[in-house]
Amino acid sequence: MDRWIISNFIPWATNECRSTLIHQDSDRGLVDTEDSINLALQAFLSSLSALIDMRRPQDKYPDARRYKRQIHLHVGPTNSGKTHSALRALHGAHTGVYAGPLRLLAHEVFTRMNKGQIAHDLAPRACNLVTGEEQRTVEIAAGLVSCTVEMLSPHQYYDVVVIDEIQMIGDIYRGDAWTQAVLGTQAKELHLCGEESVIELIRKLSIDCGDEFILHEYQRLTPLKVSEQSLKGDLSQIQKGDCVVTFSRNNIYAIKKLIEEQTDLRVGMAYGGLPPEVREREARMFNLGSEIEGEGGYDVLVGSDAIGMGLNLKIKRVIFEALYKFDGQREVTLSTSQIKQIGGRAGRFGILPTKVKSESNQSSEGEPITQCVGEVATLQESEMPLLRKCMVAPFEPITQAVIKAPFETVQGLARMVPPGVRFSTLLNLRRTLTVTSPIFAIGDENNAAGIADLLEDITNLSLAERDLFCSAPASSRNPVAMTALRSWATAHSKRKLGNLSEIKTEPINEKKSKSKEKLDQQSLFRLESLHKCLVLYLWLGFRLPETFTFMKLCTDLKLKSEDALALGLNSLGHRHRRHGQNLVNEVSTLETEINHDLDPSSSSSSCHV
């Protein structure tokens, strides 16, 4: 596709200029058109060059360039207190914002600020919440906001801005949001928290923006060691406080079952397909169970790489079931960064730091914490050498910040191509033609292009509306979400209301399921799909409120689906089956209630314009 675009677009543009001018000159009786053609082509290529020039994306933010900002980069391993120091700076600011990668993290900072839980010596601060799917206003005049990175506005000034997990700036799918935050945020101080892998990249960006760069380096607050040997494939050696990490839903279910069959331990689960709110509940149950005896908590957690970010977990030992994962096409070995970040979750820790060394010669003193040596191991002995190597290796440096040319580039390209060109082609043109400097890389737009193709034949959608739907938080490979999104885009194009009844999950086929266990897993997957669609509706509702009006109902159903998922996870397992709990029946009861609310014949959701 890239080669086709390059080989066809420029020749087409040249011929278009030539044929247009020949036609115009012949109408006026002019013979010599070559000079006119050359001038027009030069003007066209000059306009195109300006449109696709992203060699200095920082110049796209003139408001931010008016300030000489202080860029504080807080780097250190997991459990080092780097984010805590940044949050203390935010707490002391008159105006400020926390921007994190997950709505779960935005919720956590929102709650801790309002409850005075940032530190024992800091009082509560009024803080509002803004994520793509939710907005909570504690006080209209509150000086602080907690948000997801994509919601951080470059049009507002803040005294202090905290941007978490800054290493995400190199992520090809979402990194452009971090790059925009670093380059475009108007602030006196930017506090960036993350891995040491970004030190030189952020230093270069700071210099290019004319800002002051200040590095703060942190050490782990609790010791961490690699086990002398693996578990040798024996899950009966799992102990309280362990977290087993694997990388597929089926593996997570299977390992949970095996541990419960071979031990007397209670096992929770946390993986990427679960809503962040449910993952947080599972983490809370694990932390509870690893501290006290009795019912109500988990002794062990089985999770995916989702445990590496956004969850406060009191893990004694991290055990890798494998050091490779399926990336959608093939099995690939985990990167050093992934292994270090996941393995670094081992070790009980408090949330208050002790010491930090800084290039600015500043240090902060905090409360003493409970020390507990963290331990990292593998399930199979053959993978221990790689684990040992990665845990002591330095982070691989991130050398490029991911960017995406603005929507105005798509608009400009649309004026340059023949009428009727597909929107996905415009997105591919933007990605392929954009010119960058070596410090920047173009992000992946395959998901947006997939959604664009799905919506291509829907008429009466403007370019801006197509761009919005293509930016929605939904996977183009999720048929349930895509069916709902297409129906909602169609409704919007016809200026009708988007009904929740367009969410159509796959029915459970009990006859084809080989076991009750498979039925349980199908029920959970169905609820996960439903929850994703409800989150998608809320995201659209904040951007197109005239079409997506059932926000209160959607929020209620979202909470119900989270409760159902929590119930399902708690009931799924070897031990709970002996108690006679039937997950399929429990979930079906809740789905019946939800589906009744989704029925367009109900009075609350049948309204159309």
pLDDT digits (tens, 9 = 90+) for 538-594: 999 999 999 999 999 999 999 999 988 888 887 776 554 443 345 566 556 655 665
Question: Residue 159: what are its φ and ψ, rounded to 5°?
Answer: -70, -45
| pLDDT tens digits, 201-250 | 999 999 999 999 999 999 988 889 999 999 999 999 999 999 999 999 99
More confident residue, 493 or 290: 493
Q: 367 - beta bridge partners?
A: none
287 vs 338: CA distance, rounded Å: 23
Q: What is the dihedral of CA 517, 520, 526, 531, to 10 degrees?
A: -130
What is the DSSP annotation of 148-182?
A: EGGG--TTSEEEEEEE--GGGGG-TTTHHHHHHHH
What average pLDDT does this structure show over 260-274?
92
| Closest to 370 measured CA to CA, from 221, 239, 241, 218 | 221
In this predicted structure, what is the pLDDT of residue 151?
A: 97
In this predicted structure, what is the pLDDT of residue 475?
A: 95
| Largest Cα span, the chain | 95
| pLDDT tens digits, 160-169 | 999 999 999 9
Parallel, antiparallel, or unpaired: how do β-strands 144-148 and 317-320 relate?
A: unpaired
pLDDT band at 348 (very low <50, low <70, confident <90, very high): low
Q: At residue 460, does pLDDT exceed 80?
A: yes
Q: At residue 23, does pLDDT exceed 90?
A: no
In this predicted structure, what is the pLDDT of residue 31?
A: 46
Q: At residue 353, does pLDDT exceed 70?
A: no
In this predicted structure, what is the pLDDT of residue 584?
A: 60
Secondary structure in 3-state letters for 319-336: EECCCEEECCCCEEECCH
On whether the CB atoms of residues 124 and 141 are closer than 8 A, the answer is no
pLDDT band at 289 (very low <50, low <70, confident <90, very high): confident
In this predicted structure, what is the pLDDT of residue 385?
A: 97
Q: At residue 175, does pLDDT exceed 60?
A: yes
More confident residue, 352 or 551: 551
2 vs 7: CA distance, rounded Å: 9
On whether the CB atoms of residues 471 and 465 are closer than 8 A, the answer is no
pLDDT band at 268 (very low <50, low <70, confident <90, very high): very high
Secondary structure in 3-state letters for 226-286: ECCCCCCCCHHHCCCCEEEECCCHHHHHHHHHHHHHHCCCCEEEECCCCCHHHHHHHHHHH
288 vs 297: CA distance, rounded Å: 5
pLDDT over 70, % of the chain: 81
Q: What is the mean pLDDT of the chain?
A: 86
Q: At residue 492, does pLDDT exceed 80?
A: yes
Of the listed ranges 126-135, 285-294, 305-314, the one predicted with least confidence: 285-294
What average pLDDT does this structure show over 30-34?
54
Name the strands in the sheet holding 96-100, side by side, starting at the edge strand that comes first in the sequence.
135-136, 127-130, 144-148, 96-100, 157-163, 186-194, 70-75, 212-217, 357-358
What average pLDDT does this structure show over 14-43?
60
Q: At residue 456, does pLDDT exceed 90?
A: yes
Q: At residue 299, does pLDDT exceed 70?
A: yes
Of the listed ranges 146-150, 441-445, 515-519, the one predicted with least confidence: 515-519
* pTM strictly above 0.75: yes
On whether the CB atoms of residues 609 and 495 are closer than 8 A, the answer is yes
In this predicted structure, what is the pLDDT of residue 159?
A: 98
| pLDDT tens digits, 354-408 | 344 444 433 333 444 455 789 999 999 999 999 999 999 998 999 999 999 999 9
Nearest-10 crossing angle of helices 423-433, 446-455: 160
**88: Cβ contacts below 8 Å, ≥ 6 apart:** 118, 119, 122, 364
Q: At residue 605, does pLDDT exceed 50?
A: no
On whether the CB atoms of residues 158 and 185 are closer than 8 A, the answer is yes
**330: Cβ contacts below 8 Å, ≥ 6 apart:** none
Structure tokens at 424: 């996905």
In this predicted structure, what is the pLDDT of residue 545?
A: 97
pLDDT over 90, % of the chain: 64
Q: 224 - beta bridge partners?
A: 374
What average pLDDT does this structure show over 26-34?
53
pLDDT band at 608 (very low <50, low <70, confident <90, very high): very low
Q: At residue 520, does pLDDT exceed 70?
A: yes
Residue type present at position 411: Q
In this predicted structure, what is the pLDDT of residue 481?
A: 96
| Closest to 377 measured CA to CA, from 247, 262, 235 | 235
On whether the CB atoms of residues 145 and 129 are closer than 8 A, the answer is yes
In this predicted structure, what is the pLDDT of residue 464?
A: 98
